[in-house]
């Protein structure tokens, strides 16, 4: 059972397996993108289902298996579906021709597919997977254009006969390609992948086509954060410190419009402030890259994000689903137990204090001309299932990096449960760590900001250690020993302001116990109740941060066994 406020990586990953297995077509295993607030709720196929969602579901299925040892029943089928979309033979991943999609290779689909293929290679994917990854890199190079400033694309949607549009939304379609291209270069030892990543980035930065010099941007935060992670990754790989510094400024810009609990707005400039869990995943990815490379203060931001809005965004019950008699499945619509199938998924549009902060009514411009409007229009969409697998990936990224193995020892960056590579770390309660090395080695443990160490024990006896910055350091710990670190945990109350373009700024009261929020509530500003009802059909539904104060007295489950993390981002 998942307890509110407990990170419990393995328990939450097992819960995600339900979503990965159940929120797919029971006949074809194709993911469902849209969930509509009907009686009963409806899951509906839509154009993101293919290169985008199939890739995300597969990647999260692979990560669930690494975290828990349990292989979701849909993993193999999702892999075959994804490889099946390379049907044109040119190396690109194509959506099939359906009533709601065209046979095109969209660039955002390519970035999600590159991510999945990289994770699949790291999770021991076979030669077909490596070949598909290399062929994608070659295809993306083949269709790119180059000028004196670097590489770019003539459109965003490519068909076997060439580009079918001339759209150039670089931030959404091109920037997110960079991060997986850098990883592909490392995995395949393939320099052309890095060359393409560098050339795309050179033009983006020189022309300021996505980010201003101060890191500011407009538009879709998820894709811009993915692009910023690419900036950081390619900057590290190519030795370009200016690109790394720009990535940090992008983070500062996003942090300035977010809350310290990890709530990240989907858009900075529209009159509704809600959070895609996809945004949180990219926010965490960027912070991890920065924290490992000179910005150690961001470990506290990561700690607060994973303890709060990331885990609060996971569906742990079906209570939101409206009652009604389910119609038989069709090729497009499923009504059978949709709310139960969503358990383990993550919110598409949460507000800081509610799971459903906004529901989207599909616009006619979203649909392909051949789609049936009666299936999609005039029905509030309560979830977009790109966020379901993204939430699990966000958890995996933190789980895989909270303890770092270094030559001859370990560094514990975050006070979270993790058992890997000869070191078991348990955090039963906030402010307490128990560390058990399985071999001799050195050890460093980071103490959260504003905390102070109250007690150090080794095998039950008081102990001392060296201190370097925010890290406690032991030059040698012995296999089989048991270290206990207790540090102070502050209770505090803060007020934080969130901008609502078009409405008064909204102030939230947040109560904290260490890095954990125990209560959050809007106390002033923002849209009125009537204005909120005009922009959302679900208003103040499923409050977040419930029962957390009581949960602090319940020990968090320990990791069950030692697990390596072969998928490394």
What pLDDT, on the 0 to 100 scale, is given for residue 287? 98
Contact 98, 48 (CB under 8 A): no
**Cα diameter, the chain:** 73
Instruction: Say yes or no: 226 and 77 in one domain.
Output: yes
Instruction: Say yes or no: 30 and 76 in one domain.
Output: yes
What pLDDT, on the 0 to 100 scale, is given for residue 167? 78
Instruction: Say yes or no: 361 and 417 in one domain.
Output: no
Residue 209 tokens, joined: 């086509």
Residue 536 lies in a domain: no
Phi/psi zone of residue 262: left (φ > 0), alpha (ψ -120 to 50 degrees), beta?
left
Instruction: Say yes or no: 383 and 419 in one domain.
Output: no
By C-alpha distance, which of 512, 513, 469 is closest to 296? 469
Q: What angle do CA 299, 115, 110 make, to 5 degrees?
A: 135
Residue 484 tokens, joined: 């206990």
Whichever domain contains 411, its CATH number is 2.60.40
Residues 530-557 pLDDT 10s:
887 777 777 788 999 999 988 888 999 9
What pLDDT, on the 0 to 100 scale, is given for residue 271? 57
Alpha helices, DSSP H, located in 257-386? 277-291, 298-305, 311-312, 338-341, 373-376
Instruction: Say yes or no: 19 and 100 in one domain.
Output: yes
Residue 215 lies in a domain: yes
Rounded to whole angstroms, the Cα distance separating 230 from 434 reads 35
Which domain range does residue 340 map to? 9-400
By C-alpha distance, which of 70, 1, 78, 73 is closest to 32? 78
Instruction: Say yes or no: 317 and 327 in one domain.
Output: yes
Contacts of 35 (CB under 8 A, 6+ apart): 41, 42, 43, 44, 338, 342, 381, 382, 383, 384, 385
Rounded to whole angstroms, the Cα distance separating 269 from 416 reads 35
Residue 506 lies in a domain: no
DSSP state of 217: -
CB burial of residue 462 (10 Å; 0-12, 13-18, 19+): exposed
Q: What angle do CA 273, 279, 284 make, to 5 degrees?
A: 130
What pLDDT, on the 0 to 100 scale, is given for residue 292? 98
Overall number of domains in the chain: 2
Instruction: Say yes or no: 437 and 369 in one domain.
Output: no
Instruction: Say yes or no: 197 and 82 in one domain.
Output: yes
Last residue of one domain, picked from the residues 400, 421, 455? 400
Residue 199 lies in a domain: yes
Q: What angle do CA 28, 33, 35 make, to 5 degrees?
A: 110
Residue 146 lies in a domain: yes
What pLDDT, on the 0 to 100 scale, is given for residue 189? 98
Residue 98 lies in a domain: yes
Task: For the chain, list residues with pLDDT below 70.
Answer: 271-272
Q: What is the pTM (predicted TM-score) of this model?
A: 0.97
Instruction: Say yes or no: 223 and 300 in one domain.
Output: yes
By C-alpha distance, which of 434, 446, 450 is closest to 401? 446
CB burial of residue 323 (10 Å; 0-12, 13-18, 19+): exposed
Rounded to whole angstroms, the Cα distance separating 313 from 335 reads 23
Instruction: Say yes or no: 204 and 347 in one domain.
Output: yes
Whichever domain contains 40, its CATH number is 1.50.10.10
Residue 331 lies in a domain: yes
Which residues are 412's β-sheet partners?
A: 403, 445
Residues 306-319 pLDDT 10s:
999 999 999 999 99
Q: How many helices (H) does the chain have, and how many strands (E)?
A: 18, 26
Residue 473 lies in a domain: yes
Alpha helices, DSSP H, located in 268-404? 277-291, 298-305, 311-312, 338-341, 373-376, 387-401
Cβ neighbours around 206 below 10 Å, total: 11
b (16+ CB within 10 A) / e for 124-154: ebeeebbebbbbbbebbbebbeeeeebbbbe
Residue 497: strand, helix, or coil: strand
By C-alpha distance, which of 345, 338, 343, 336 is closest to 321? 338
Alpha helices, DSSP H, located in 402-555? 529-535, 548-551
Instruction: Say yes or no: 320 and 451 in one domain.
Output: no
Compute the radius of gyration of the chain from its Cα atoms.
Answer: 23
Instruction: Say yes or no: 226 and 347 in one domain.
Output: yes
């Amino acid at each position: 059972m998942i307890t509110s406020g407990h990170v419990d990586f393995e328990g939450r990953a097992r819960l995600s397996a339900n979503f990965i297995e159940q929120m797919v077509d029971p006949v074809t295993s194709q993911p469902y993108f849209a969930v509509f607030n009907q009686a009963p709720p409806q899951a509906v196929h839509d154009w993101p289902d293919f290169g985008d969602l199939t890739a995300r579901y597969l990647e999260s299925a692979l990560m669930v298996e690494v975290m828990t040892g349990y292989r979701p029943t849909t993993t193999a089928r999702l892999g075959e579906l994804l490889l099946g979309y390379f049907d044109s033979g040119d190396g690109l991943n194509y959506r099939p021709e359906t009533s709601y999609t065209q046979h095109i290779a969209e660039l955002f689909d390519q970035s999600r597919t590159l991510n999945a293929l990289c994770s699949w290679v790291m999770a021991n994917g076979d030669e077909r997977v490596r070949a598909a990854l290399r062929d994608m890199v070659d295809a993306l190079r083949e269709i790119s254009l180059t000028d004196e400033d670097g590489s770019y694309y003539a459109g965003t949607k490519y068909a076997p006969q060439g580009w079918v549009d001339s759209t150039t939304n670089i931030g959404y379609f091109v920037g997110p390609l960079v991060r997986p291209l850098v990883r592909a270069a490392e995995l395949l030892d393939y320099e052309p992948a890095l060359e393409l990543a560098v050339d795309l980035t050179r033009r983006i930065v020189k022309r300021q086509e996505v980010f201003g010099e101060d890191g500011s941007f407009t538009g879709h935060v998820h894709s811009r954060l993915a692009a910023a992670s690419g900036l950081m990754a390619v900057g590290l790989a190519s030795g370009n410190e200016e690109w790394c510094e720009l990535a940090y400024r992008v983070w500062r810009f996003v942090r300035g419009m977010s809350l310290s609990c990890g709530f990240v707005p989907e858009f900075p400039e529209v009159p509704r402030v809600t959070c895609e869990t996809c945004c949180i995943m990219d926010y965490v990815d960027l912070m991890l890259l920065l924290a490992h490379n000179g910005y150690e203060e961001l470990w506290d931001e990561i700690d607060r994000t994973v303890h709060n809005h990331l885990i609060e965004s996971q569906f742990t019950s079906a209570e939101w689903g409206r009652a009604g008699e389910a119609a038989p499945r069709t090729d497009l619509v499923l009504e059978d137990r949709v709310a139960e199938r969503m358990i383990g998924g993550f919110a598409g549009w949460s507000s800081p204090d509610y799971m459903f902060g906004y529901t989207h009514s599909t616009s006619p411009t979203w649909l392909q001309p051949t789609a049936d409007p009666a299936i999609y229009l005039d029905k509030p969409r309560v979830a977009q299932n790109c966020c379901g697998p993204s939430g699990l990936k966000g958890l995996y990224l933190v789980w895989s990096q909270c303890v770092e193995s270094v030559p001859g020892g370990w560094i514990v960056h975050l006070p979270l449960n993790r058992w890997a590579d000869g070191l078991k770390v348990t955090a039963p309660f906030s402010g307490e760590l128990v560390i058990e090395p399985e071999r001799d080695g050195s050890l460093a443990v980071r103490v959260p900001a504003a905390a102070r160490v109250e007690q150090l024990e080794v095998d039950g006896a008081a102990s001392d250690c060296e201190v370097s910055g925010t890290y406690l350091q032991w030059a040698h710990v012995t296999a089989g020993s048991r270290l206990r670190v207790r540090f102070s945990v502050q209770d505090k109350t803060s007020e934080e302001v969130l901008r609502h373009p078009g409405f008064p700024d909204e102030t939230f009261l947040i109560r904290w116990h260490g890095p954990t929020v125990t209560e959050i509530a809007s106390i002033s500003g923002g849209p009125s109740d009537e204005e909120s009802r005009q922009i959302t059909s679900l208003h103040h539904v499923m409050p977040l941060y419930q029962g957390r104060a009581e949960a602090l007295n319940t020990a968090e489950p320990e990791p069950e066994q030692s697990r390596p993390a072969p998928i490394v981002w």
